Amino acid sequence: MSSAAAAKLPPRSYEVIYILRPDISKEAAERVAQRVTDVVSREGGVLTLVENWGRRPLAYDIAHKRRGLYVYINYLGDGALVTELERNFRMIDEVIRFQTVKLEDAPESGEIDPELLKFEVEEFNPEEEVERTLEQELGLVNSPAPRPSKEEFDAETTEESASDDVEAAPASEEKTAESVEETPADKEAE
Amino acid sequence: MENEEPRGDKDGMRRTRTRGCPFCANDAPAISYKDPGLLRYFITERGKIVPRRVSGICAKHQRALTLAIKRARVIAFLPYTTNY
């Protein structure tokens, strides 16, 4: 097969989820995102969507981490781009897991909103990420940071308005009124 | 319990209940590996995929569901096993 024949094929649509170490700095996460952008454009692909899903608990430990920073991207490209991008993911130490999935839908030819390509990360807060020592792991000492349970995993994806109501209930009337105002806004945002 | 479904014969026939595939319904949710909340219904406590004879899913959707669960495991949305 000649390269000319391959070039005639229409680009395919792929989606990738990659997971970064949870303790990654804002700058390092942006560097990884920039490198992904560079690789896609260098290989003749088009990035169509970049989403930061934030730090989520992992269902099992990866690289001794219980959480990971999830990033979701969509792009148009060919098989060579997929290979090249995955080769790059393997070389970046901050990426602890990645998965490419080919989308069934035909690629859209419409214009891409540059807003969708913005990548924003919140600064790492070390207080969230208290790793347990060996003694705590074995149950010899009371653990300050229990492993996130299934309930917590689910709770992260649900609305925050429920917890607002719980906090507002014993508070004064003013605060209750505020939370009522906030709740519909939260739902609209979702 | 009494009027929920017809009983089998007296000689211990198993209760049967006809129930359609939940994903064949018109307003059924799409099967996606990015939706661990939905997929969680179809794995056991130990993380195994629930067989079709138990969940009542049709063959077509069971194939899609299996693929989605396996993809969700790779990106740590679902566990491979809880025994580690």
| Res B75 pLDDT > 90 | yes
Residues 3-42 of B with CB under 8 A from A: 33-34, 36-37, 40
Site of tokens 């730090």: A55
Question: What is the average pLDDT across B15-26?
Answer: 80
- Structural domain of residue B55, as residue ranges? 19-79
Reported confidence tier of residue A95, pLDDT bands at 50, 70, 90: very high
Q: Which two tokens stand for residue A100?
A: 């490419």
- Indicate the pTM of the whole model: 0.67
- The reported pLDDT for the residue numbered A120 is 72
Q: How far is CA A10 from the centre of its chain?
A: 28
Going by C-alpha positions, the residue among A101, A152, A130 that lies closest to residue B32 is: A101
Q: How far is CA B84 from the centre of its chain?
A: 24
Q: Can you give the length of chain A in residues?
A: 190
- The reported pLDDT for the residue numbered A134 is 59
B67 Cβ under 8 Å from any chain A Cβ: no
Q: How far is B19 from chain A (nearest CA, A)?
A: 28
Helical H runs in A43-92? 79-91
- The reported pLDDT for the residue numbered A11 is 86
- Which residues does A30 contact at the CB level (< 8 Å), separation at least 6? A119, A121
Reported confidence tier of residue A116, pLDDT bands at 50, 70, 90: low
Rounded CA gap, A122 and A5, in Å? 44
Task: Name the residue with higher pLDDT: A78 or A119.
Answer: A78
Residue B13 maps to a domain: no
Going by C-alpha positions, the residue among B62, B71, B6 that lies closest to residue B32 is: B71
For chain B, the domain total comes to 1
CATH number of A3-128: 3.30.70.60
Tell me which chain A residues have a C-beta less than 8 angstroms from the C-beta of B33. Answer: 101
At B43, is the secondary structure helix, strand, or coil?
Answer: strand
Residue B12 maps to a domain: no
Residue B75 maps to a domain: yes
- Which residues does A74 contact at the CB level (< 8 Å), separation at least 6? A13, A14, A15, A16, A47, A48, A49, A103
Task: Name the residue with higher pLDDT: A144 or B16.
Answer: B16
| Res A104 pLDDT > 60 | yes
CB atoms B76 and A19 under 8 Å: yes
How much is the mean pLDDT over chain A? 73
Beta-bridged to residue A141, according to DSSP, are none
CB atoms A99 and B74 under 8 Å: yes
Dihedral-angle region of residue A24 (phi above 0 means left; psi in -120 to 50 means alpha; beta otherwise):
beta
Question: What is the average pLDDT across A27-36?
Answer: 93
Reported confidence tier of residue A9, pLDDT bands at 50, 70, 90: confident
Percent of chain A's residues with pLDDT above 90 = 44
Burial of B66 (C-beta count, 10 Å sphere; 0-12/13-18/19+): middle
Q: Confirm if B1 and B40 have CB atoms less than 8 A apart.
A: no
Residue type, B13: M
| Res A178 pLDDT > 50 | no
Task: Name the residue with higher pLDDT: A85 or A149.
Answer: A85
Question: What is the average pLDDT across B51-78?
Answer: 95
Reported confidence tier of residue A131, pLDDT bands at 50, 70, 90: low
In eight-state DSSP terms, residue A57 is E
Q: Confirm if A57 and A148 have CB atoms less than 8 A apart.
A: yes
How much is the mean pLDDT over chain B? 85
Site of tokens 């209930």: A169
Range of A152-161, A167-176, B17-26, B72-81 with top mean pLDDT: B72-81
Task: Name the residue with higher pLDDT: A120 or A126.
Answer: A120
Residue B6 maps to a domain: no
- The reported pLDDT for the residue numbered A189 is 47
Tell me which chain B residues have a C-beta less than 8 angstroms from the C-beta of A99. Answer: 71, 74-75
CATH number at residue B33: 4.10.640.10
Going by C-alpha positions, the residue among B5, B56, B71, B54 that lies closest to residue A98 is: B71
Domain residue ranges of chain A, discontinuous segments joined by +: 3-128, 159-189
CB atoms B75 and A154 under 8 Å: no
- Which residues does A57 contact at the CB level (< 8 Å), separation at least 6? A66, A67, A148, A152, A153, A156
Rounded CA gap, B24 and A117, in Å? 35
